[in-house]
Amino acid sequence: MTVAGVLALVFWIGYFSFLLYGLILERNIVEAVNQARPAEKPLSLFRIWGDPWRVHRLYRAFYPSGDLLRKYWKAFGASGLCFAACVASCYYAVK
């Protein structure tokens, strides 16, 4: 296997690692919002319908100095960079 192939595999693992970390952070955000509003109906972790940014707005309202959203966006940004690097490494491995 070439160096580009090994890098593609490493970036692929990094992509999924950051993606899973972002999903764990999303779960923590939903749990924090549900704890902050105990009298209302709890938000579901599996939001399919409705406003997808509602949880983020509620988190910002309840925790203005909270850092979970910042970590969430950093994790998904890092996963996007790893995916782009994986695609580039695959291109150079095949070329």
Flag whether pLDDT at 16 surpasses 90.
yes
Q: What are phi and psi for residue 65, nearest 5 degrees?
A: -105, 15
Placement of tokens 């940014």 in the chain? 53
Nearest partner of 45 among 62, 66, 60, 31, judged by Cα: 31
Flag whether pLDDT at 18 surpasses 90.
yes
- pTM score of the predicted model: 0.85
Flag whether pLDDT at 57 surpasses 90.
yes
> Residue 45: which pLDDT band, with cuts at 50, 70 and 90?
confident
Mean pLDDT (the chain, rounded): 91
The CA-atom distances, in angstroms, between 71 and each of 18, 24, 51, 81 are 11, 11, 21, 15
